[in-house]
Chain A
C-alpha cells in the first residue's frame, strides 16, 4: 500500500505483459527484473526528463476494441514492448470500455505524478476530441496519437495510408479469385467474388474499403465486391455470420478491417474452406490457428509508430506538433503473405503486386480514400 509497493507492482505488470503479449493478463508472466531501476527511479524523484538517466514512463491508452484483438491494439502493444526491450522504458496499459472513458484515462495519466509519464500514446481515432482538450489542459505533457491528428505543440501525430495497403490486398484477391487456386484449407470457387467486412462505418474504415475495392477493380473490373459493416470492433460472432453469408454467395476472399470482429471472419473462412485477409498485424502469426486460411495480411505498422515516438522521447527528440504519414513508400503499410500458406501465392500474382506497389509509390496510381470516389 506504500508508494514503493505500488511502484513495484506496476513494473511487475509491465514485465508480465511483455512476456505474454496479452496486456493486462500481466500477472501470469515472469518478471523481467527491473527492480534496480525502480530504486534509482524513486531515488531521483522520478526525474521528468530522460537526460537525467531516469526511466521513461509511458502510459498507453488503447482504442475501445481493447487488447487481445490480435490486430490494431495488440500491434500498438507490441510497439511499446519493443521499446521496453530496447530502452529503459516502463509502461502501464489502460483500456477504455467506451469512448466516454477515453478522456478520463488520458487525464489520469496526464495528472499522475507517481510516476510522471513522459509520453502518453493515444491509440486510435476515438481519442481525437478528448486529446484536443487534454493536450490543451496539460501543455507540459507529451502525447502521441495514431490514426488521427490533433493540432497541438505537445502532440506527435502518426497517420497511415491504409488505402494503399488495402489496394494491394484487393489487387491480390481480385487476381486470385479468377484463378483456380488452392492452399492450406482454402480453395477458390468458379465465381469471381470477394468480400470486405468493416468494423464501424467510419471514415477511417472507409479508407480500407475504398482502397480494397480500387485494388480489386485494378485486377479486373468484373470481379464483384461485397461489403458489409459489423457495427462493432469486438463482436466476432457477428463477423463470422457476415463472412459466412459472403462465402455462401461465392466469395473466395474476405478482407476485414474490424479489429476483434475479424476473428469471426477467419473462423468462417475455415468453415467454408475459403480464404481471408488479415489486417493491421500479420494475423497468420498472431492468430496462428487460422494460418491455413489467412493468405495474406495488410500490415499497418502501428507498432513502428509507437516505437518511434517512444524512441524519440528517450532520445529527447520528441517532435510535438509534427505529423508523420506512413504509406507503402515508408513501409508504414504493406501486404505480407501468410506465414503458413503465403508461399503458395503464384509468382505472376506477386510480380503484379510489386508492379502496382511501384505505381502507387511513384504516383501513377491514385488510390481513393472514400468508396464514393470509386
Chain B
C-alpha cells in the first residue's frame, strides 16, 4: 500500500512523515480550529434558543438574537482552568491523575496492546493502597517519618496490585490467545465489583453511609505543597512528570523498552530477533497496570484520603489522553494538562454562566476530537503503511526503515 498516490494516501503519508515540530504545530492549529468551530456552535445554539431568556448577547437585524457570547464562554473556560489558585489546583489535580493513567495506556499501546483496563487497575490499586496504609499505620510513628513510610508503602502496594491486575490480561493474551481488548474491558467490571464487595462487606468504614474505607491518617496524605489547596500536591505532579521521563527513558534507552516497542511494531520480527514475545506481553501489561495502580494510589493519598465507591473514570480518560499524545510518554504531559484544564474550566462555566452543561460538554468534545484526529489518522496511516518511500519491514528481517512508527512516536 506504500506509495499510494491518491489524495487520501498523500494526506496520510504527509501526516505519518510529519516531524515532531510539525506535529506540535498541527495540534495547536487543531486546537485553534476547534475553538473557532466551538464558537460557531455556541452562536448557533444561542440563535436557536431565541428569544433569549435574558438580554441577548447580540441582535442582528433579520437574523434574530444570539443568546450566548462565545468569547465569554471561552474566556470563562480559560479563567476557570487557570484563573485562581483554587481553579489552578483543580486543573492540576486532574492533570496529575491523568498523567498516570495516560502513561499506563501509552505503555500498553507501544507494546501493541490496547489496555482498556486501566480503570480496573486503578480501582484495585487504589484499594490496595488504602488498605495497606491503614494496616501499616499503627506500627509506624506518626509524623513526617511515618508519613514517608506510609506513602512509600501505599505507592508500592498500589503499583503491585495494579500490576498484577494488568498482568492477567497480558498472560491471557500470551498463553491463551485471548484478545486483550475484551479481557481488559471485562476485568474492569470484575475489579469494580471485587473492590465494592470487599469494602462493603469487610473493610467498610462503620461510621459512614457510603461504601468506603476509613480515612488514612492525615500525615500519610500527600501535603498540599506550593498551592496550599487540599486535593492537590505538587509532590504528586512532580512525581508524575518524573515518571513520564522515566517511562520515556525505559522505552527508548533500555533493552526491555526496545523489546517492548519492537513487539508493538512488528511482533513476528521481534520474535525472530530473539524477543520472548509472550514474556514481553505479560511484562508490558504488568508495567501498564502498575502505572494505573500508582494512579489509584495517588488518587487515594492526594484526593480522596480513602477508597470510596464511585471513583471517577480516570482510566477511560487516560485512553483519550494517550491517543492525544500519540502514545508518547512525554506527549502525555501536555495532553493531560489539556484535559485537566477542560475539566476545571467547564466546572466554572457551569457555575458562572447560563450556558447549559451539555453545551460545555460539546465544546470539550470538539477540542478533544480536533486534537486527536490528526494523531488518529497518523496512527492509521502507519498501520496501513502510508508515508515514506521505503517498504515496511518484513518478517524476513529486511532493511530496517527509518521514521514511521518507531522513531516518530518518540521524537517529540
Contact = CB atoms under 8 A, between A and B. Distances in A.
A15 B351 CA distance: 15
A99 B210 contact: yes
B303 A100 contact: yes
Interface in A169-216: 200-204
Interface stretch (B26-34, B100-108, B353-361, B381-389): B353-361
A128 B354 contact: no
Interface residues of A, number: 47
B75 A1 contact: yes
A200 B86 contact: no
B349 to A, nearest CB: 10
Given A97-B312, A98-B310, A202 B356 contact: no
B308 A99 contact: yes
B72 A1 contact: yes
A105 B355 CA distance: 18
A8 B200 CA distance: 45
A5 B356 CA distance: 17
Interface stretch (A27-35, A77-85, A288-296): A27-35
A103 B89 CA distance: 13
Contact of A231 (B72, B86, B196): B196
A27 B357 CA distance: 10
Contacts of A5: 72
Interface in A216-238: 231
A28 B215 CA distance: 43
Interface string B281-323: 0000000000000000001000110101111110000000000
B53 A27 contact: yes
Contact of B210 (A26, A105, A125): A125
B158 interface: no
A98 B312 contact: yes
B210 A27 contact: no
B208 interface: yes
Classify chain B: how many residues form its interface, as a range: 35 or more
Interface in B318-352: 347, 350-352
Given A100-B303, A200-B309, A26 B86 contact: no
B54 A92 contact: no
B125 to A, nearest CB: 16
Contact of B49 (A27, A98, A125, A133): A27
Nearest to B359: A27
A13 interface: yes
Given A1-B72, A13-B354, A100 B304 contact: yes
A320 B313 CA distance: 36
Contacts of A251: none
A108 interface: yes
Interface string A102-142: 01110110010000000000000110110001000000000
B357 A95 contact: yes
Interface in B171-211: 192-193, 196, 200, 208-211
B200 A24 contact: no
B210 A111 contact: no
A12 B90 CA distance: 27
A26 B209 contact: no
A262 B49 CA distance: 31
Given A100-B311, A108-B351, A203 B209 contact: yes
A24 B352 contact: no
A89 interface: no
A64 B53 contact: no
Given A128-B210, A201-B211, A202-B211, A27 B310 contact: no
B311 A98 contact: yes
A24 B209 contact: no
A24 B86 contact: no
A201 B192 CA distance: 13
Given A31-B53, A128-B208, A200-B211, A9 B309 contact: no
B55 interface: yes
A9 B90 CA distance: 24
B166 interface: no
Contacts of A1: 72, 75
Interface string B24-64: 00000000000000000000000001000111000000000
Contacts of B312: 97-98, 100-101
Given A26-B354, A100-B311, A126 B54 contact: no
B67 interface: yes
A25 interface: yes
B210 A24 contact: no
Contact of B53 (A10, A16, A148, A201): A16
A8 B57 CA distance: 12
Nearest to A127: B210
B163 interface: no
A348 interface: no
Contact of A128 (B55, B209, B215, B309): B209
B399 to A, nearest CB: 51
A280 interface: no
A362 interface: no
B350 A126 contact: no
A13 B351 CA distance: 10
Contacts of B355: 27
B170 interface: no
A104 B356 contact: no
Contacts of B128: none
Given A16-B354, A99-B309, A8 B211 contact: no
A104 B347 contact: yes
A95 B53 CA distance: 22
A27 B299 CA distance: 35
A311 interface: no
B231 interface: yes
A6 interface: yes
A9 B352 contact: yes
A109 to B, nearest CB: 9
Contact of A94 (B309, B310, B350, B356): B350
A147 interface: yes
Contacts of A24: 350, 356-358
9 contacts: A13-B353, A16-B354, A99-B308, A100-B312, A104-B90, A128-B210, A129-B210, A200-B211, A204-B209
Interface of B: 49, 53-55, 67-68, 72, 75, 86, 90, 192-193, 196, 200, 208-212, 215, 230-231, 299, 303-304, 306, 308-313, 347, 350-358
Nearest 8 interchain pairs by C-beta? A125-B209, A98-B312, A12-B54, A9-B354, A13-B354, A99-B310, A31-B53, A24-B357
Given A24-B356, A202-B210, 7 more contacts: A8-B55, A11-B54, A12-B53, A26-B354, A94-B350, A100-B303, A203-B209
